[in-house]
Each structure stands twice: as C-alpha cells, then as structure tokens.
Chain A
Amino acid sequence: MKLEMRDQPGQLVAALQPISAVGGNIIAVIHQRETLAATETLDVQIVLELPEEGSLPKLLELLREQGVSVVRIGEQRLLYECTLITIGHLMHTDLSDTVDRIDTTGSAEVTDLSLAMPAINSPSSARITIRSTTREEMKKAIRILRGVAEQKDLLIIEPLEGV
C-alpha cells in the first residue's frame, strides 16, 4: 500500500505500529524522499502480509486514527505458489473434480494447468499450479491433493523445495 504522512519525526513509526497491532508482517518499506517535493507530506510504500482478509479494514481505521492517509492499496490475495506434476488416468478420474476439491477450500486455487495426453488409454500427465493465501493453506491444499491422488490412483510429484 502507498501511504501519505506528515514529514515529521516519529511519523513513520506511527504508521508502522498499527500493522503489528493487527498481527501483520512487514515485508518491505520503500521510503524515497524526493528532493524537489515542495509538499510537507511524505510518500511511503509498504509491502505487508496480513494474517486474514478481515484485518485490512481494521488496519485502515487504525492508520486513519494516526493521521496517515492511505493513497493506494494493491492487493494480492494469493501470495504463495506451488507447482506439482500428476500422472495417471486424469480425465477418466474427473480432472475438474480434482481441481474443484482444492478450489472449494476458498483459500487455495488452481491457477494454471497444463495437460499432456499422449494416447487414449495411456496415462496422462499434468502440471498443476496452486496459489494460496498462506503457507498453512498451501500445506492443506497439498494434503487434499495427496488424498485425492490416493483415492483416484494418481501419482503426485511434489517440488523438492517447500512452498
């Protein structure tokens, strides 16, 4: 988010404090003082991660109380990404149901799918990209996928590195 605040000592701390108050995690603070700026306000960009979607309105309210105005908010809800490959009779075992089982969690989604079907009756291969709101949700989505794979007799190839 991009914030505008008075160019006075202590203002940046005042703007950051509410973030930790709502349990948020600051990833980056970009603070560029433009030498030509004639205004008495300062622009600061903050990249942050919030524990749950409902904490954003609370944060905005706290910031307003501190006299900090929020100029712009760019939101990326699905922050974590994981790509897996699955092999098996994907179509015969209802691929869209496999995808649905993850999408219906609400906090993880299949955002990309590449499918290779070499011949009828031979196993097909698919690369599935899942995005999720938190690391925990990603673990949950992978657990769901493992369960589906066992049930539908599919092979799941997970990445070596974590999410």
Chain B
Amino acid sequence: MMRIVILGFGSVGRGIARAILAKNLDLTVTGLADSRSGLIDPAGIDLLAALDRKGNGDLCGNPDVSPADVVAKADYDVLVEVTPTNVDDGEPALGYIRAALGRSKHVVTSNKGPIALAYPELRDLAEANGVFLKYEATVCGAIPLIHAMQEGLAGNTISRLYGVFNGTCNYILTRMAEDSLTYEQALAEARELGYAEADPTYDVEGIDAAIKLVILANAILDMRTTLDDVERTGITLLTPEALRLAEDQDCTIRLIGEIVPEAGVLRVSPRIVAKTHPLVVEGTLNAVTVETDLAGDLTFIGKGAGSTETASAVIGDLLYIRERHVQGS
C-alpha cells in the first residue's frame, strides 16, 4: 500500500480520485486539498464523499487546513501535485513541490509551470533526498512520451522531435479545413464544446505548446532553455483560404512544435503538412514524431488532455515509483 496526498481537486484531481475508486490500485489518499480547503486523514480519506461535496459546489475539506498544511503535516509517500499551471513563477505549486521533496517525499505532477521553470533545481533536490520526481502528465496528457523517451528509447540519440502538442489548436485547424470555417467561428465552436478556455491566448498563441517543448528540451534532451528561447507563432491569423490553398496540394496546416537539439532550434509555428503524414490527426488529438538514430522514426498519437486521460499519466508515474521504491506501512 502506498500513501499519497492530492493537491488540486479540479478535473485532473477528480479523475485520479475516480480511477482510485474504480480500480484496485492499492493507493490510500491520506491528504487532499483544493485551493480553499484541505483534509488530512492517516486512515484514508473517503474519496466518494469528497467527490460528492465538490460536485455539490461545497469545499472538499476544512477551510482551516491549507494545501501547505497538507504538504507539511500529512503522512504520505508521494505528493500528487495537480493544481492549475502558472507559467510566470510556477507558484504556489513550486513551493509545495520543494517542500515535499525537502521532506523526502516523492512527487508526481501534471503541472507544467514548475517543471518548465525549475526542472534542474527540482531534479537535484529530489536526488539529494533520494526520491523520485515524475511529470509524465505535463506533456501530451495520456501519451507516455516522457517514459518512452527516458526508458524505451534509452541509448538512442534524438536528432529531431516534432508534433502536435495542443489539442485546442488542432481542433480549430481541423474544423477550419473541414468546413471552411473562419478562425473566429472555429474558436467559438471549440469554446462551446469546452475545448477552449474563455481566454484562449495560452493555447492559440502557441504558449502551451512552447512550454511543453521547454519541458522536453530540459528534462529529456539535456538542453538548458526557457520559454523565451522558443520561436513562437500562433494560429490566430490563419484564414480558411490559406487552408484551402494547402488543401489544393493535398496538404493541410497544423500548429507544429519542433525541437532540433543539435541546432538549438525550439519552434512553434503553423506549418504545411502533407495530409498523408502520420502527424495529421483530427480533432483534439496530440501526435508526436521522434527521430532517433537506432530506433528510426516513431510517432505517438493519443489524447492530450481530459480528466481520465491525464489521470492515466499520473497513475502510471505513481505505480512506477511503487515498483521501484516500495515504502509506506
């Protein structure tokens, strides 16, 4: 049995709770917090009751218990940090992660901010305390891209990595190509379906894709980069005519994130892609091609977001830690 605390009880946090309830994963949740309340119970929190409270619009726990209290006081093996991303300074998540690693607790996170901003520091802190820091869910949701690159492709040299890293943009471009919608029409549709935020800047300007490139570059490809190093163009200026001009040549346009390690290239921009290319996926899917020296080219396709899908990546990391570092009581 492994004891975990969950920080963040939004879409991802609840997805994890539901998976733990639905499957016999042998995980006990001894702490839980959302932005306004917290709960600590060494015997294991009743997740069903917490989900019900949240579903009714109530606090998930006690307003006098803060997330920081849960990190500092609960008894646990792994901190599951799934609060919303802040790309400016990574807080408050960064502070929680530092505190947990400082207490020699493993950390699993879906939060892009801390990993993009402070990966080398956090990795060193984890190493110094003899614990794991895992972050599969930060890039491409359900696709086990980081695991594949770190484990399955160990020993390969990666010469280029490129793909569709943002499902919102991919949905918008798919719809513009299919039905000649304008960018504004396709965005409105994406919002209605819950694929785009009220303020879509983060997605449509390519910032989200750029952060994912920074994470892969720093954590997997041994580069030292920041968001400012990414050459970035979004999709807001695209026209249905441009998509038709591409279509005339059996091509389409996709927002592509690209890393060429040797040339130091990190780039997010709309690109012309042949419709037969494996990266041309429909709707909100993500797809990433990795070019390697030994394994050749590999393309990974899957769901890049969603409650259950992101929970899958978090649970994969949790079970990885349990396999390699059995602890707890």
B118: CB under 8 A from chain A? Answer: no
Q: Are A160 and B271 in contact (CB under 8 A)?
A: yes
A12: CB under 8 A from chain B? Answer: no
Proximity string of chain A (119-134) to chain B, C-beta cutoff 8 Å, 1 when within and 0 when not: 0000111110000000
Across the interface, name the chain B residue whose C-beta is closest to A153: B237
A99: CB under 8 A from chain B? Answer: no
The smallest beta-carbon distance between A111 and chain B, in angstroms, is 14
Proximity string of chain B (138-180) to chain A, C-beta cutoff 8 Å, 1 when within and 0 when not: 0000000000000000000000001000000000000000000
B307: CB under 8 A from chain A? Answer: no
Q: Tell which of A88, A118, A123, A159 touches B272, judged by Cβ atoms closer than 8 Å.
A: A159
Interface segment, B31-39, B187-195, B242-250, B314-322? B242-250
Q: Tell which of B162, B238, B239 touches A160, judged by Cβ atoms closer than 8 Å.
A: B162
B273: CB under 8 A from chain A? Answer: yes
Q: Are A87 and B271 in contact (CB under 8 A)?
A: no
A158: CB under 8 A from chain B? Answer: yes
Q: Tell which of B254, B272, B279 touches A85, judged by Cβ atoms closer than 8 Å.
A: B272
Proximity string of chain B (231-243) to chain A, C-beta cutoff 8 Å, 1 when within and 0 when not: 0010001110110
> Which residues of chain A (106-163) have a CB below 8 Å from chain B?
114, 116, 118, 123-127, 155, 157-161
The smallest beta-carbon distance between A56 and chain B, in angstroms, is 32
A84: CB under 8 A from chain B? Answer: yes
B277: CB under 8 A from chain A? Answer: yes
Across the interface, name the chain B residue whose C-beta is closest to A118: B241
CA distance A127 to B249 in the complex (A): 10
Kindly list chain B residues whose C-beta atoms are within 8 Å of the C-beta of A88: 237
Q: Tell which of B238, B241, B279 touches A124, judged by Cβ atoms closer than 8 Å.
A: B241
Q: Are B241 and A83 in contact (CB under 8 A)?
A: no
Proximity string of chain B (49-60) to chain A, C-beta cutoff 8 Å, 1 when within and 0 when not: 000000000000
The smallest beta-carbon distance between A91 and chain B, in angstroms, is 14
CA distance A82 to B251 in the complex (A): 13
Across the interface, name the chain A residue whose C-beta is closest to B267: A158
Kindly list chain B residues whose C-beta atoms are within 8 Å of the C-beta of A118: 239, 241
B256: CB under 8 A from chain A? Answer: yes
A: interface residue count bin? 10 to 19
B284: CB under 8 A from chain A? Answer: no
Kindly list chain B residues whose C-beta atoms are within 8 Å of the C-beta of A116: 239, 241-242, 244-245
B270: CB under 8 A from chain A? Answer: yes
The smallest beta-carbon distance between A145 and chain B, in angstroms, is 14
Q: Are B246 and A85 in contact (CB under 8 A)?
A: yes
Q: Tell which of A83, A87, A155, A160 touches B256, judged by Cβ atoms closer than 8 Å.
A: A160
Kindly list chain A residues whose C-beta atoms are within 8 Å of the C-beta of B239: 87, 116, 118, 123, 125
Across the interface, name the chain B residue whose C-beta is closest to A128: B245
Kindly list chain B residues whose C-beta atoms are within 8 Å of the C-beta of A158: 269, 271-272
Q: Are B245 and A125 in contact (CB under 8 A)?
A: yes
Known: A127-B248, A127-B249. A160 touches B272 (CB 8 A): yes
The smallest beta-carbon distance between B257 and chain A, in angstroms, is 11
CA distance A126 to B279 in the complex (A): 24
Kindly list chain A residues whose C-beta atoms are within 8 Å of the C-beta of B70: none
Q: Are B245 and A123 in contact (CB under 8 A)?
A: no
B131: CB under 8 A from chain A? Answer: no
Kindly list chain A residues whose C-beta atoms are within 8 Å of the C-beta of B249: 83, 127
Q: Are B273 and A160 in contact (CB under 8 A)?
A: yes
Kindly list chain B residues whose C-beta atoms are within 8 Å of the C-beta of A160: 162, 254, 256, 271-273, 277, 279
CA distance A161 to B162 in the complex (A): 11
Across the interface, name the chain A residue whose C-beta is closest to B234: A155
Across the interface, name the chain A residue whose C-beta is closest to B272: A159
- Nearest first, the 4 A-B pairs at minimum CB distance are A116-B241, A125-B241, A127-B245, A125-B242
Given contact pairs A126-B245, A127-B248, enumerate 10 new A-B contacts (beta carbons under 8 Å): A83-B249, A85-B242, A85-B246, A88-B237, A118-B239, A125-B241, A155-B270, A157-B270, A159-B273, A160-B254
- 26 A-B interface contacts by CB (under 8 A): A85-B245, A87-B242, A116-B239, A116-B242, A116-B244, A116-B245, A118-B239, A125-B239, A125-B241, A125-B242, A125-B245, A126-B245, A127-B249, A155-B233, A155-B237, A155-B238, A157-B246, A157-B270, A159-B273, A160-B162, A160-B254, A160-B256, A160-B271, A160-B272, A160-B279, A161-B274
A-to-B contact residues, CB < 8 Å? 83-85, 87-88, 114, 116, 118, 123-127, 155, 157-161
